[in-house]
Chains A and B, each alone.
Chain A
Amino acid sequence: MIDLKHLSIAYGETSVVKDVTLHVPEGGSFALVGESGSGKSTILKAIAGQITNWTGRIRLGEHDLQHGRDPALIRLCQMVFQDPFGSLHPRKTVDTILSEPLSIHGIGDQNQRVLETLDAVGLARKFRFRLPHQLSGGQRQRVAIARALMLDPPVMLLDEPTSALDVSVQAEVLNLLKTLREERGLTYFLVTHDLPVVSFLCDNLGILRQGELVELATVDQLKQQQFSSDYGNELLSKSF
C-alpha cells in the first residue's frame, strides 16, 4: 500500500533522509522508530505531501505521489498528530472540525457521516457541538482520529499519537486504533519512539538513524528483543 523507493530528502546542504526504501502491504501496520533528528517525521511529512523537495519515488496504492499539491493524495491518506491540544482549531466545534473535510470535497450527507464517525471513535453524540477546550486530552485525540477518518482514507499516518496522553488514556486510544484498523482494513504508518506501543499495534518496524534505515524487523523480533543491528539493540536497552 505504501511503497517508498530510494527516498532522499535534503534541506539545502544537509541531507535528512538518505535513500530509504520500504514497503507496507495493504492492511499492514508499520512503525518507524528512531531518536529525534533521525528523520522519521520528515518521511511522514513527505508521504503526507507536506514536504515537496524529495527525490525518489513515493507510491500509495496505485497512486504515484506528485511533488506539488496533490488533491488525490488527501483522499488516500490522513494524519493524526502528536498533540491533541495543538492540532484542533480552538474556536471550531467538533461538528465543524469533522464536517469541514466533507464540505471541501463536496461530499453530501454530512449529518449522517459525522454521527457515524463519532460513534466509530467512541465519542458520545453530546460532544458534537462542544469546543476543544471542553474536552479532555483523550477525547480530543478521538476527535483528531475522527477527523482523519472523515474522508475514508485507506492509509492513516500516525505521528506519536499517544505520547502526549496519560497512561490510562493511552490504553484507550491504542485500543481504538487497533479496533478501527481491524474493522476498516486500514493501513497504519506510525512514527514513534515508544517501543512497547509498536509491540502492541504494529506488524513490522523500521529503525532509522541519522536518516538511514538501519534495520527492517518484524514485531516478533522486537518481542524477543533480537534485532540484527547493533543500533537496534542499543535502542532496546534504552527503552524502559
Chain B
Amino acid sequence: MSLLTIENLRVSFPGEQGAVEVVKGISFELGRERLGIVGESGSGKSMTGRSILRLIDKPGKVTADRMEFDGLDLTTLSKKRMRALRGARMSMVMQDPKFSLNPVMRIGDQIAEVLSFHSKLNARERRKRVLESLEAVRITDPERVYKLYPHEVSGGMGQRIMIAMMVILEPDLMIADEPTSALDVSVQAQVLDIMDDLVTRTGMGLIIISHDLNMVARYCDRILVMFNGEIVESCQASELANARHPYTQGLLASMPTLDEHRDRLPVLDRTQLGGV
C-alpha cells in the first residue's frame, strides 16, 4: 500500500489578473521509497511539498481530488489533527538552518520541544532522547552541542540538527526542501548520507525537493521533473539519462560536466516549451 497518494493537486494564489495557478493538477504516489522532485525556480516543487503538510495559508488555495497519507484524508483533516500529524508522523526539513532554527533557544531545548508537544516523556527522558538523536546524525559530542545556540554551530551542523529534530519521533514521511543548497559541497554529501542512512534504517518515505538533478539522481529511487506547475517527466533515477521530455533533456544538456569539451553549453528554449 502506498504511503502517500496525491491526485489532481492544484495550488493557486490570487493575482492582479485573476488566480495564478502554481501547481496545475499533479498526481503521484509515494511508497516507502526515496522520491526526488526536481525543477527550477517557479516550477511549483516547493509548493507541492508544502501543500502535503498543509502549510499553505490564505490567500493561497489548495485543492485536490485525493490527498491521502497512510489512509488519512489530508484534505478534510481538522487543524488540530493536522498539528498532531506534523512533526510526529510527517516532517519537513527546510533549506537554511540559519533561518529555520530559533536563534534565542538552546539547540537541545529546541529539539526537546518536539517531544514535549507530541509525547508524554518527562524531562530526563526527553534529554536522553535528544542526545540520542544528535548522535544519530553523527554529532560526536552531543552533550556540548545540546547547550549551544544556533549561531554557535556551522551550517552543516545546523542542518544535521534540523534533521535530528525532524527524525526524533521517527516519522513515516520526511520532506526535505532543498536540504543541502545552503551548504558547502564537502558537507552536502555528509548530510545526504545521514538522511539516506536514516531512511534505510527506519524505512520512512522521503521526498527530496531540489534543483540539483545530479544530486537527486544519486540519492533517490525515483524522480519527478516539474516544469511550470506540471510533472513533465517521471522516471527511475537510474533512467534519468534516457529522459524523454525536451525540458528534462534540455536541463541535463545545459549542465557542465567534469570532463567538459563543448565550446558552448546548449541553452533551454523556453518559448518552444510553452513556458514563461
Contact = CB atoms under 8 A, between A and B. Distances in A.
Interface of A: 35-36, 137, 166-172, 174-175, 178, 193-197, 199-200, 222-225, 235-236, 238-240
Contact of B254 (A35, A36, A167, A194): A167
Given A199-B256, A236-B258, 12 more contacts: A35-B187, A166-B41, A167-B211, A167-B255, A168-B268, A171-B254, A171-B265, A171-B267, A195-B258, A199-B258, A238-B189, A239-B258
Interface residues of B, number: 32
A54 B215 CA distance: 38
B258 A168 contact: no
Most buried by A among B155, B256, B257: B256
Contacts of A36: 155, 184
- A interface, over-half SS: helix
Interface string B9-42: 0000000000000000000000000000000110
Interface of B: 40-41, 155, 184-189, 211-215, 218, 250-251, 254-268
A240 B218 contact: yes
A76 B214 CA distance: 38
Given A199-B259, A223-B258, A223-B259, A235 B186 contact: yes
6 contacts: A166-B41, A167-B40, A195-B258, A199-B259, A235-B185, A238-B186
Given A166-B40, A166-B211, A175-B265, A35 B186 contact: yes
Contacts of B266: 171
A200 B256 contact: yes
Given A197-B256, A199-B260, A223-B260, A168 B267 contact: yes
Contacts of B155: 36
Contacts of A200: 256, 260, 262, 265
B261 to A, nearest CB: 8
B39 to A, nearest CB: 9
A224 B267 CA distance: 26
B255 A175 contact: no
Contacts of B218: 240
Contact of A196 (B213, B215, B256): B256
B257 A240 contact: no
Nearest to A201: B256
Contact of B41 (A137, A172, A174): A137
A166 B257 CA distance: 16
A239 B260 CA distance: 15
Given A167-B254, A171-B255, A178-B264, A193 B41 contact: no
Nearest to B254: A171
A224 B211 CA distance: 27
A152 B254 CA distance: 29
A223 B260 CA distance: 7
Contacts of A224: 259
A240 B215 contact: yes
A30 to B, nearest CB: 16
